[in-house]
Amino acid sequence: MKYCKWLFIALVLTAWRGISFAQEVHRAPALSDSSSFTWILLPDPQTYQKFGRNQSLFTLMIDWIKDQKDGLNIQLVLCVGDLVEQNNIEEPDGVNGDQTSKQQWESVSAAFSRLNGVVPYIVTTGNHDFGIKNSETRQSQLNKYFPPDGDPLTNALLVEMAPNGEGVKTLENACYEWESPHGQSFLIFALEFAPRMEILEWAKNLAGKPQYSNHIGVVITHSYLNSENERIKMERYRIPGANYGETIWNELIQPSSNLRFVFSGHVASSATHRGQVGYRIDPNQAGKNVHQMMFNAQREGGDWHGNGGDGWLRILEFLPDKKTVKVYTFSPFFYISPSTRHLSWRTEDYDQFDMSY
């Protein structure tokens, strides 16, 4: 009889814990502190764009951002590059996409334009955004589809642009100044894929100006960190003047006392989620921690020819203590249906963690 009594209690406790867990995995995104604000980090959109069937999934992600703007106090949207799969092809092969480059650029720019006047967004270029298929040259169609005055809210933040590989000042290399609701000043750089040495020097000189000495510096660039949490030293792209993670660190990040965050994408070393994320912390020359995060998802949802990445994005919650960022990995694609809502959060220690800055 005593055994039955304890068995009953154990079953009740197990059921209660199961209910608690179910509520947790089905939860809607919410701020942990009502005074927080958030940034949204979007991984490589290329596989959403190269197939016509996937383009609406990326638009769903953008519409979720619009829908959650007030509830999550979304202040800024960042994208780590590879906006399209091929920068300038006229005849897709039907295997690695069924959309022309024109269709891909039109799709991704139309999706982001839904944020115009709603929340500022900062994009950067990846290897697929240059050349014909994959960085054969430094020619990109970014300026045609993402002109500096495209979104008035983003344009209002623009401090300076540097010349691209063709000598034209575009958003391929841009610096933005942004004031947080907590009164902190941020200086945000979007740098071209594999930035040339003159671009690293431009960003270093700009970040080093006295008026920005107390700003919190952020760099967004496409190829920087791999899934082993190592800075990338070399890649075999034909694009001229290319520099990757280790050189970016040595020439720009480490010598700058105010650069505190680096966000990148690009890497998909396996179809598993762990093969598409990375994170490390290193001190800059002033002894301040620099948080370096790689976030991608393009091989999830069916690998290279799947649905584009299962809708994964990251929510970066800046707490009112002015020193903590909570990182969450969430999929509005899974969350939209009650039948898949239990799949909409990733809570592994490399997907949900705090950054102290």
* Interval 222-275: pLDDT, tens: 999 999 999 999 999 999 999 999 999 999 999 999 999 999 999 999 999 999
- Residue 200 predicted with pLDDT over 60: yes
pLDDT at 26: 79
Of 13-17, 39-43, 70-74, 165-169, the poorest mean pLDDT is in 13-17
pLDDT score at 25: 61
Q: What is the mean pLDDT of the chain?
A: 93
> Using an 8 Å Cβ cutoff, are 329 and 314 in contact?
yes
The residue type at 48: Y
Q: State the pLDDT at residue 223.
A: 98
- Please report where in the chains the tokens 């950067």 appear, as a residue: 124
Instruction: Calculate mean pLDDT across residues 91-98.
Output: 96
Domain 37-356 has CATH 3.60.21.10: yes
**What is the average pLDDT across 163-182?**
98
- pTM given for the model: 0.93
Burial of 52 (0-12, 13-18, 19+ CB in 10 A): middle
pLDDT at 24: 62
pLDDT for residue 4 is more than 70: no
C-alpha distances in Å from residue 14, one per residue of 18, 95, 112, 260, 263: 6, 48, 45, 44, 41
* CA–CA distance, 140 with 144 (Å, rounded to integer): 9
β-bridge mates for residue 264, sequence order: 294
Structure confidence by residue, pLDDT tens digits, 305-319: 999 999 999 999 999
Q: Is the pLDDT of residue 5 over 80?
A: no
Residue 65 to residue 68: CA distance in whole angstroms: 5
Name the burial class of residue 2, with classes exposed (0-12), middle (13-18) and buried (19+) by CB atoms within 10 angstroms of its CB: exposed
Predicted confidence at residue 143, as pLDDT, reads: 98
Q: Show me where the domains of the chain are located.
A: 37-356
Provide the pLDDT confidence category of residue 17 given band limits of 50, 70 and 90. very low
